[in-house]
Chains A and B, each alone.
Chain A
Amino acid sequence: MVLPFIASISRDVFDTVPIVLKEAAAGLGCTTFEILRNVVLPYTRVGVIGGVMLGLGRALGETMAVTFVIGNAHKISGSLLAPATTISATIANEFTEAVGDVYTSALIELGLILFVLTFLVLAAARFMLMRLERKGA
């Protein structure tokens, strides 16, 4: 689910590279790949990293697709193949069945942790993308 997201942001980011830079590189005899590696990527590095972090923010908050397949096991297991759980999956599975105020509050606390985490990641990502925009302007 992160893949299309990063793909579309990368496309937008690559579009910000001034065409003159690319033409200059082509004029020097660069192949397409060399233009990409030596001109486009260095120019857009901040933006690409920002896009990847936006994808990370998406993945952190994704609820339903994860809840279906993760198995909701309350333990940290050494194997990636064993059932586990995520913050959002735990909230989705247990909130409506939570008995008592402490249980409900604990789940809302989990929501706070999740929100703060994604907020930090997304804010950092946006900050990087804004830096690229300023460069283009």
Chain B
Amino acid sequence: MLSHYAARRRSNYVATALCWGAALFGLSWLLLILGALVVNGARGLTLDVFTQMTPPPGGAGGLLNAMAGSLIMSVIGVAIGTPLGLLAGTYMAEYGRHSRLSTLIRFVNDILLSAPSIVIGLFVYTIMVARMGHFSAVSGAVALAILVVPVVLRTTEDMLLLVPGSLREAAAALGAPRAYVIRRIAYRAAKSGLVTGVLLAVARVSGETAPLLFTALNNQFWSLDLNKPMASLPVVIFQFALSPYKDWQQLAWTGALLVTATVLTLSVVARTLSRQRKSK
């Protein structure tokens, strides 16, 4: 009897140890990646990186045009995608909560959320780049917008569903029309959650390479023209890291460090915001 109990205890210890080991294994990769980025990226982190254009092979330079391009395309992408996601999420959580359509949208949206981003790049290529006849920053921004929509939609719906129904009923009992209830009660109660969704979308978009490869392409020079190819940090990193030139590779490491730091900060801020909301 006692030995049976001891065996059960032992298998419990073994299983717990294995779970711990798996968790540590997963975490260690994160630390290793961050460590490699900091070690290799910090070496090239000079003021030039922020003030100079991407250099020709062998020359000195920075990543200024790539950073500006990333910023511009992300901002436009988020500006197009956020309203769409926000409104669709509002429909699903407020108007069509139990309708067939909502279930269908949720299903498709969840698939779009993990769909391969390179396919989205191809799609935008065929509908915009091929029609216009040249690569452009606009099409890059549209590709990013398509990635933003499912992220914002998902969080908007989740966050609006967390708003207690009694709040809405109270407002409705005071005679407020439905649109007013949504705008002034539901949105206000879910505000930090909605912001979280947008931040997560920005974080997702600022690290994407694949959809930009065939839409915004790349640009060696300073360009703010939305109708022309535009550089972006992820694409520059991709190109420079695979190149045989030492200083290009160094810039790629530094760029990767910058992108990672941005995404990490955004994710941490988004997490803290949504944690506050849950503990309330």
Which A residues lie at the B interface, using CB under 8 A? 3-4, 7, 31-34, 36, 54, 57-58, 60-64, 67-68, 88, 91-92, 95-96, 107-108, 111, 114-115, 118-119, 122-123, 126, 130
Contact = CB atoms under 8 A, between A and B. Distances in A.
Contacts of B30: 4
Contacts of B213: 92, 95-96
Interface string B149-164: 0000000000000000
Interface of B: 8-9, 11-12, 14-16, 23, 26, 29-30, 107, 110-111, 114-119, 122, 125-126, 209-210, 213-214, 217, 234, 238, 241-242
A64 B238 contact: yes
Nearest to B11: A33
Top 9 A-B pairs, shortest CB-CB distance: A61-B116, A33-B15, A31-B12, A63-B210, A111-B122, A33-B12, A63-B118, A122-B111, A115-B119
A91 B122 contact: yes
A136 to B, nearest CB: 15
A115 B213 CA distance: 18
Contact of B26 (A4, A88, A115, A119): A4
Contacts of A88: 116, 118, 210
Contacts of A32: 12, 15-16
Among B126, B213, B217, the one with the most A-chain Cβ atoms within 10 Å of its Cβ is B213
Contacts of A115: 115-116, 119
B121 to A, nearest CB: 8
